[in-house]
Amino acid sequence: MSTFTTSDGTDIFYKDWGAGQPVVFSHGWPLNADAWDVQLRLVADHGFRAVAHDRRGHGRSGQPWQGNHMDQYADDLAELIEKLDLTDAILVGHSTGGGEVARYIGRHGTGRVAKAVLLGAVPPLMLKTENNPEGTPIDAFDEIRAGVAADRSQFYWDLSEAFYGFNLPGATQSEGARRAFWLWSMQVGLKGAYDCVKQFSETDFTGDLARIDVPTLVAHGDADQIVPIAAAALKTAQLVKNATLKVYPGAPHGLTGAYEQAFNADLLDFIRS
């Protein structure tokens, strides 16, 4: 396995496939780099270098007690990019990973970045506040924390249904997708999983989005039950200069089937342009 050790002593696992302009993928909560395998192979098959890591606390990376916060996630990504000496990189983030990409640019700039892709991403702010009435009430995130703390195995299995929209009318069920989601989720340490809920729900990325000065694809399903589009992509596309908004009608948070194929085509078009 390929790993490197961060400056605070945490081992980070990463995949590095293919050769060419680097495309760096950041995964959502509570998953790991395997969730990107289809896209990693896709871009590597088309002449790009595909890189993806397991966020600290997740998958095959270390599970430290400290450092499970968005600034550190972004700094870990920066250390990976610097270790591999990646330049002209295209950063792709899904859900919490989209927040990681935004915070990376907010803290480290775009000196090594050519483009960005935010898919079903949590910015600018998930939490409902007086200034963000489209957000999700704090009670929903308290329920996530309670579920993770009490019986995370059952919680992750139940979450997989809404994650992939299998509870929507006419949805094509995939037990395999749900089992994979559960398996990846169970690899997250309880401390890291619990801490990350606050990070993806309460972090305000507005200032980070303002620093994005490279072409950016903002992609989101309008049937996303996990990160509702009104508080996320619709606002992000207005805050990011040079943003292109792509809305997938009927698509859930986790893309499968025809929705995933549509995104894959848009991803290839965007990174080639």
Q: Is 11 labeled as catalytic in the residue annotation?
A: no
The pLDDT value recorded for residue 64 is 98
Beta strand segments in the chain, E: 2-5, 11-18, 21-26, 48-53, 89-94, 113-119, 216-221, 243-248
Residue range 23-40, pLDDT digits in tens: 999 999 999 999 999 999
Give the pLDDT confidence score for residue 29 in this predicted structure: 98
Structure tokens at 230: 């009104």
pLDDT lower than 70: segments of the chain: none
Is the pTM of the predicted complex or chain greater than 0.85? yes
Q: How many domains does the chain have?
A: 1
Q: Which of 26, 95, 160, 185 is catalytic?
A: 95
**Residue 23 lies in domain:** 2-272
- Catalytic site includes residue 185: no
Task: CATH number of the domain at 127, please.
Answer: 3.40.50.1820
Q: So what's the pLDDT on residue 182? A: 98
* pLDDT per position as a tens digit, 189-245: 999 999 999 999 999 999 999 999 999 999 999 999 999 999 999 999 999 998 999
Neighbours of 49 (CB within 10 A): 19
Which member of 16, 54, 76, 224 is catalytic? Answer: 224
Give the DSSP letter of residue 98: H
Task: Give which of 70, 65, 129, 80 is closest to 100, Cα–Cα.
Answer: 70
The pLDDT assigned to 210 comes to 98
Which residue stretches of 115-243 are H helix?
138-163, 175-185, 190-202, 206-210, 233-239
Has 95 been annotated as catalytic? yes
Structure tokens at 200: 């993806």
